[in-house]
Amino acid sequence: MARPVIAIVGRPNVGKSTIFNRVIGDRLAIVEDKPGVTRDRIYGIGEWNGRSFSIIDTGGIEIDGEDHILRLVRAQAELAIEEADVIIFMVDAKAGLTHADDEVAQMLFRSHKPVVVAVNKVDNMNRMDDVYEFYGLGFGQPIAISGSHGTGIGDLLDAAVEKLPELDDEEYDEDIIKVALIGRPNVGKSSLVNALLGEDRVIVSDVAGTTRDAIDTPFERDGQRYVLIDTAGMRKRGKVYETTEKYSVMRSLKAIERADVVLVLINGEEGIIEQDKHIAGYAHEAGKASIFVVNKWDVVEKDDKTMQRFEQTIRDHFLFMSYAPVVFLSALTKSRLHKLLPVVNHVSEQHSLRIQTHLLNDVVSDAVAINPPPTDKGKRLRINYVTQVATKPPTMVIFVNDPEIMHFSYERYLENKIRAAFDFEGTPIRLFTRRKSDED
């Protein structure tokens, strides 16, 4: 299910990234006391009062004179209007109401989207009087917060979550495999959709970035029903801050979230670039079943080792996704296209696979007997038992005597042994370590 979206909007240096980090409980956005520093992650998951939501930090703009500031603030507001279900409009108590704030407010009014005004940097009671002028924005009661001290965040989230829409639990039946196609522009996502459907259902152009929206296309093959979610291409970070490209990234992330299986398309003619790793990383972090699809294989000069070399290159570049199979094809000529859907079916099954507890414990016991856990400061890790608690992705909890001495390398060793025993091809698996209690 796609989560509702909250976007944080405001001019530079009002503290958007600080609030973003507090909401998601991590430091994914870079925080410095100067404008325009947000360069990396702008998308996260938050939860409040039992409601889960996606949250967007619309930071990351450069400053080059007042006119440039207003233009970029306007672009951010347009992004939020387009993508968000609820908008947190952040202003600065110290700076007071500015012309840029008024510019954003006018666009938000025209959007008819729910807006909550957050007055940041109210670091003490003496600043409470500075909040009142923001009633003039016309969005109701402003909420005083301090990003640096963490005060008022609960009140802000109460107000924002209250305005979130109720979403349907599931758009499609459980037996339908939802497949998202992701990749940088011009790798052939729309062409692959058309090839799978056998008709031109999606506009195909050789101009990078033609597809701006995520488009759902149901179809059936050999008794199995699918929904293809075609997404706009993700450009490299230097260009991602163009407004339409920001839309594209957000939509692609939403498509990943809704999918069961993610096809990570790579341009076989151009090879792998750094942005391919970022794109694949989104699917990995979301815990989705994934397949590398090397497209345009028809135009690659080949010998009998070309495919093997290319697959090894993928393995070298995507060490974090060693579980994902690789399919080589040409959407244009439909060469090797018949190999794709059987792999989609297989990784979807693995993504949903549930292993009985006694079988898991047999494998882990054998692994421990072959390679006992190392000691840490004279204390040895003791594994009591392991159980699977979820699917999509398969998630296991390992109960131990002391989680602090579970080294990541030994956890990886156990994961490899579990994979060797039960396959799990195409899907990440997640291992969590917990202390065994009497209740357990």
Let me know if residue 34 belongs to a domain. Answer: yes
Let me know if residue 87 belongs to a domain. Answer: yes
Shared domain for 345 and 377, answered yes or no, is no
Statement: residue 232 has pLDDT above 60: no
Q: What is the pLDDT of residues 411-426, one digit of tens each?
A: 999 999 999 999 999 9
Detail the residues annotated as belonging to a binding site for GTP: 10-17, 57-61, 120-123, 183-190, 230-234, 295-298
Shared domain for 202 and 63, answered yes or no, is no
What per-residue confidence (pLDDT) applies to 398? 95
Shared domain for 242 and 143, answered yes or no, is no
Tell me whether residue 375 is exposed, middle or buried, using C-beta atoms within 10 angstroms of its C-beta: 0 to 12, 13 to 18, 19 or more: exposed
C-alpha distances in angstroms, 334 versus 81, 198, 331, 381? Answer: 39, 10, 5, 53
Shared domain for 72 and 36, answered yes or no, is yes
- Among 162, 194, 226, identify where a domain stops: 162
- Among 290, 325, 350, identify where a domain stops: 350
Which residue range is the domain that position 398 belongs to?
Answer: 357-435
Shared domain for 147 and 106, answered yes or no, is yes
Shared domain for 340 and 219, answered yes or no, is yes
Least confident of 70-79, 99-108, 357-366: 70-79
Shared domain for 97 and 188, answered yes or no, is no
Shared domain for 397 and 419, answered yes or no, is yes
Q: What is the mean pLDDT of residues 377-394?
A: 91
What per-residue confidence (pLDDT) applies to 376? 78
* Number of domains present in the structure of the chain: 3
The helix/strand/coil state of 295 is strand
Shared domain for 182 and 323, answered yes or no, is yes
Detail the residues annotated as belonging to a binding site: 10-17, 57-61, 120-123, 183-190, 230-234, 295-298
Statement: residue 203 has pLDDT above 50: no
Q: Which CATH number belongs to the domain containing residue 45 in this structure? A: 3.40.50.300
Let me know if residue 171 belongs to a domain. Answer: no
The helix/strand/coil state of 233 is coil
- Among 108, 131, 162, identify where a domain stops: 162
Let me know if residue 28 belongs to a domain. Answer: yes
C-alpha distances in angstroms, 383 versus 176, 203, 395, 406? Answer: 38, 55, 17, 10
Shared domain for 401 and 322, answered yes or no, is no
What per-residue confidence (pLDDT) applies to 63? 38
- Band of pLDDT at residue 214, cut at 50, 70 and 90: very low
